[in-house]
Structure 1
Amino acid sequence: MRLSSSLAVVAGGALALGARAALPHLIARKVRSDLDKLNAGDHRPMLAAYADDAILRFPVGDHRWSGEHRGKTAIERFLREFTAAGLFGEITELHASGPPWRMTLLARFDDHALGPRGQRLYDNRAVLLGRLRWGKIVEHEDFFADTGPLETLERRLRELDRHPVT
């Protein structure tokens, strides 16, 4: 093998390794940006991150987000409920691993909701598990430290006449 061919192989390998190392950071930046927009009331950038056939699983209980949400239409309804309820989320840690065709994300997610006078209606924390394929979320599951606050939030939202989005 000639020297120029060897250098090309080494350079190509280094470029591939560098791109693979940078990808989790790019995904993390995109997720945080989409969450900032969701917190501002725009669910569309977050929705665009999901594959058409994605599945979002949320802890079952007596609240509007309960259960499995299949496909973009169901996930859009879920995200609209998030913004309509006045929820705000923050990713405090995010870890990504795996190749682009089978990437795994783990995130610590803290969220809260405020009432009409700025009082805290809800505080909770969760771990989010995401599976991505070529940059699109195909599977998303939330694991909450305590699901009781979700049911309390649901009662408080109904008392404030904030009913589920239809």
Structure 2
Amino acid sequence: MPTLAYLLLGSNLGDRAARLAQARHDLAATAGRLVAASALYETAAWGLTDQPAFLNQVLAIETDLAAPTLLAACLAAEQQQGRERQVRWAARTLDVDILLFGQEILATPTLTVPHPALPARRFALVPLAELAPQLRHPQLHQTISELLSACTDPLPVQRITA
């Protein structure tokens, strides 16, 4: 039975919208069936702030892949768009994070789901709440809407597409 996974896409280099569109296509081809995609949202860079603003989007994907295999598909999508991992939180062509993987809780040296920073990042919660406001976080037992209401991240998240 497929697992419903929520992925966060982000880009702040080049044609950001085109990069996210290509990532949607690539992930639908390799990771599973694209069930839904949020609007695109623009947010100032988080972490290292002296860089271009990000476009972010959340995808809901039904996948038959195990979480580590889904991570490999996400990393492959990043690499196809020239992602280089040299400095943490640096500008990037594409970033793909697994926010949630069904109701699974997983902590390995290479993958932690739910994403540990999800409750603290408005740029992830806003598009996720668009798709699944009543979804409960498997560890915190709060809905995504509740997490968003409690989020103290001050960065504004601006919806740019319908």
TM-score by length of 1: 0.22
Identify the structure with the greater strand proportion: 1
Report 1 or 2 for greater relative contact order, CA contacts < 8 Å, sequence distance ≥ 6. Answer: 2
Max radius of gyration: which structure? 1
TM-score by length of 2: 0.23
